[in-house]
Amino acid sequence: AAAQTSHDVEPTDLQTLREEAAGCRACPLWKDATQTVFGEGPAHAPLMLVGEQPGDKEDLAGHPFVGPAGQMLDRALEEAGIDRSKVYVTNAVKHFKFVARGKIRLHQKPATPEIKACRPWYERELAAVRPALVVAMGATAAQSVFGKITQVTKNRGQIVDLPDGPQAMITVHPSYLLRLPDAEAKAREYELFVKDLKVAAAALK
């Protein structure tokens, strides 16, 4: 390989992207959020997981999926035989959107303009990491990954080829599992989530 000078490195290396994204003003969400929560993981991970947006804990920590949804995700990944340290984990929207209710910051679903404004970061992460497979967790992630509204329940667990890109799959978001009030439904849905992740793991073999 050619000798690298400081101006000769990949223009889209993750560190550069992370630094640029830290100052992103492409939508208003940066104003109330603590910081940009960029994706994390090996530079050329074969698997990329995409969530919705950082939650309260992630906003404070500056890392994706470190709160309750992250713990649920960690458990499911392990059960599916996927080592999280080998996965690149990111979100469709990189700032926490919330409304303050006293001391509590209540998660708000990102709107389409916010998802669209943030999509270039996902596209640049994709170009840098070049995973073989992207798993979109939930409808917001699916909107970014597929570039259009795509139903989760109808399409989950199926591997599809993206035009000029990696393979992709939709599954539910781990927060959805946390919100299910009924323990039986929760257990059943959790197993389906693990099953989808096993399909993803098998596709990488």
CA dihedral (168, 174, 175, 177) in degrees, to 10, reads 120
Tell me which of 36, 47, 49, 51 binds ligand URA, using CB under 6 A: 51
- Total interface residues for ligand URA by CB under 6 A: 13
Q: Which stretch binds ligand URA (CB under 6 A): 16-24, 51-59, 97-105, 154-162?
A: 51-59
Report the candidate in 59, 167, 66, 52 with the shortest Cα–Cα distance to residue 111: 52
Phi then psi for residue 104, to 5 deg, are: -95, 140
Tell me which of 21, 27, 47, 69 binds ligand URA, using CB under 6 A: 69
Helix (H) or strand (E) holding 68: helix 68-79
Residue 187 CB neighbour total at 10 angstroms: 11
Q: Which stretch binds ligand URA (CB under 6 A): 3-11, 38-46, 54-62, 148-156?
A: 54-62
Interface pattern 86-115 for ligand URA (x via CB under 6 A)? -----x------------------------
Report the candidate in 123, 200, 205, 186 with the shortest Cα–Cα distance to residue 158: 200
Give yes or no for residue 55 binding ligand URA (CB under 6 A): yes
Give me the residues that bind ligand URA (CB under 6 A), please.
51-55, 58, 64-65, 67, 69-70, 91, 175
